[in-house]
Amino acid sequence: MVSWLDPHLHTPMYFFLSNLSFLDLCYTTSVGPQMLLNFRRSHKSISWAGCVAQLYISLSLGCTECLLLAIMAYDRYAAICQPLRYTAIMSLRFCLQLAATSWLCGFGNSMLQTILTLRLPRCGRNQIDNLFCEVPALLKLACIDTSANEAKLLAGAVIFLLVPLGFILMSYVYIGTAVLKIHSAKGRFKAFNTCASHLVVVSLFYGTGISMYLQPPSSYSQQRGKIVSLFYTMVTPMLNPFIYTLRNKEVHGAL
């Protein structure tokens, strides 16, 4: 709301932050209400349609956030490494195209993974040992060999976790090199400060996502999986607004 209402924040960085905030809001509400409801029940349940919706929406938003964080790293690269061409590179049209691509790819990959997971026979197994419906927990309900599904899930994780993370790290190598060439200590501090918040968010989100999806579902600990799932669906989205605003003078002024 702040970034849309204040004209000073109508920049590519805050455009992508608005996307991230909206995404996190949807991400939390896709799993949070049902989870809180089940915490109060002795008999914890979810309908089949609700489970399908939860699986598809939460996975879509998780994949979209992976790509969005990579796009935000590119925005920081353009701002610091190409300052004179920044407005030409990050035009409004290009920003819209990048955001739309991340949303479409996220929802497209989720559609594929959801269909592949729901087609598996469960042979009457309907007790999910997890806080919400997600692919690794549902694969454990299957009564056939899930090696093919695990391989496809791993391939998706590589594309949506490792590739964007590699792009982010490469962007920050260029950013770090450019910042070290700045002679002014104040200028270096300002440049590093604009990237610090993004790096913290990347560490929180990718760290938990990689620990969850880059291992075979058949080998992961259920209790550890629950904690990790709770972290990247509820804790990280809750922390993101604080991380991006506590040290941000522009947002303080807008507020």
The pTM score is 0.89
What does the alpha-carbon distance between residue 2 and residue 38 come to, in Å, rounded to a whole number? 34
Could you report the per-residue pLDDT of 52-65, keeping only the tens digit for each?
Answer: 999 999 999 999 99
User: Which of the 8 DSSP states describes residue 246?
Assistant: T
Q: Which domain holds residue 128?
A: 2-254
The region, left, alpha or beta by phi > 0 then psi within -120 to 50, assigned to residue 133 is beta
Rounded to whole angstroms, the Cα distance separating 210 from 214 reads 5
Torsion of Cα atoms, 172 then 174 then 175 then 178, to 10°: 160
Contacts made by residues 82-89, CB under 8 angstroms, sequence distance 24+: none
Q: Which of 140, 159, 150, 144 is nearest to 116 (CA)?
A: 150
Give the separation between CA 9 and CA 5, rounded to whole angstroms. Answer: 8
User: What confidence score (pLDDT) does residue 57 get?
Assistant: 94
Residue 160 makes CB contacts below 8 A (sequence gap 6+) with 63, 66, 67, 106, 109
- Residue 5 token pair: 């209402």
Give residue-wise pLDDT tens across range 43-101: 888 999 999 999 999 999 999 999 999 999 999 999 888 889 999 999 999 999 999 99
The CATH number of the domain holding residue 126 is 1.20.1070.10
Q: At what angle do helices 185-213 and 163-180 cross, to 10 degrees?
A: 170
Nearest C-alpha neighbor of 23 from the set 171, 246, 232:
232
Per-residue pLDDT tens digits for 13-36 = 999 999 999 999 999 999 988 888
Please spell the DSSP secondary structure of 110-141, one letter per residue. HHHHHHHHHTS--TT-----SSS--HHHHHTT
Domain count for the chain: 1
- Do 9 and 250 meet the contact criterion of CB atoms below 8 Å apart? yes
